[in-house]
């Protein structure tokens, strides 16, 4: 569940072929854009960035393709905006901090000590409640560095 490897710089083409999905231009463009953004982005904003290269309907199809092979994750912001980010196997497990002023989303890595404690807690809960828990999420809400300065 928790991996602490640093994000490796991967080429979009490599990502697609590693996941046994055919290499198409729109898929390459979407992955390239998400790799360069390096954090969650609202689908609408991605649409604006790609408007001259990828048609809207194509963009939605690519998003669903990438989701189906588990390399793209959706995050719902506090104001209910769907955001996406790449979730590659070598992307470290992380959390998100939502800025309530500028609506930015910042990737947050919590300490290994904390994550291990949380994992232990979850194992204890599994035993107690007789359930299987596969993952956890934890969102932080506040004001980002840039907004604090202004
Ligand atoms: Zn902010
Ligand atoms: Zn965690």
User: What is the chain's pLDDT, residue by residue, as a tens digit (150 residues)?
Assistant: 333 333 445 689 999 998 899 999 999 999 999 999 988 999 999 999 998 899 999 999 999 999 999 899 999 999 999 999 998 866 668 999 999 999 899 999 999 999 999 999 999 999 999 999 998 999 999 999 999 998
Query: Cα(45) to centroid of ligand 1, in Å?
Result: 16
Q: What is the pLDDT of residue 8?
A: 47
CA of 3, nearest ligand number: 2
Q: What is the pLDDT of residue 85?
A: 93
Query: Cα(64) to centroid of ligand 1, in Å?
Result: 29
Query: Cα(135) to centroid of ligand 1, in Å?
Result: 28
CA of 121, nearest ligand number: 2
* Radius of gyration in angstroms for the set of CA atoms belonging to the chain, rounded to a whole number: 17
Query: Cα(49) to centroid of ligand 2, in Å?
Result: 30
Q: What is the pLDDT of residue 89?
A: 65
Q: What is the pLDDT of residue 45?
A: 94
Q: What is the pLDDT of residue 38?
A: 86
Query: Cα(54) to centroid of ligand 2, in Å?
Result: 34
Q: What is the pLDDT of residue 90?
A: 63
Q: What is the pLDDT of residue 93?
A: 85
Fold of 12-149: Dna Ligase; domain 1 (3.30.1490)
Query: Cα(105) to centroid of ligand 1, in Å?
Result: 8
Which pairs from 117-125 meet CB under 8 Å and 24+ separation? 119/1, 119/2
Query: Cα(26) to centroid of ligand 2, in Å?
Result: 32
Q: Where are the domains of the chain?
A: 12-149
The total of other beta-carbon atoms located within 10 Å of residue 71's CB is 20
Q: What is the pLDDT of residue 41?
A: 95
- DSSP for residue 95: E
Q: Go through the chain and tell me how many residues it has.
A: 150
Q: How far apart are CA 132 and CA 8, in angstroms?
A: 31
């Amino acid at each position: 569940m928790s991996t602490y490897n640093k994000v490796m710089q991967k080429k979009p083409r490599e990502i697609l072929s590693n996941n046994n999905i055919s290499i198409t231009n729109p898929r390459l463009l979407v992955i390239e854009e998400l790799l360069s953004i390096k954090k969650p982005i609202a689908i609408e904003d991605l649409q604006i960035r790609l408007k001259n290269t990828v048609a809207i309907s194509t963009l939605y199809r690519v998003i669903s393709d990438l989701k189906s092979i588990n390399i793209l994750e959706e995050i719902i912001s506090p104001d209910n905006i769907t955001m996406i980010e790449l979730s590659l196997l070598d992307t470290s497990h992380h959390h998100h901090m939502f800025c309530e002023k500028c609506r930015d989303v910042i990737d947050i890595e919590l300490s290994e000590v904390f994550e291990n404690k949380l994992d232990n807690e979850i194992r204890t809960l599994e035993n107690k409640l007789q359930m299987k828990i596969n993952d956890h999420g934890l969102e932080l809400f506040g004001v980002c560095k840039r907004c604090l300065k202004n």
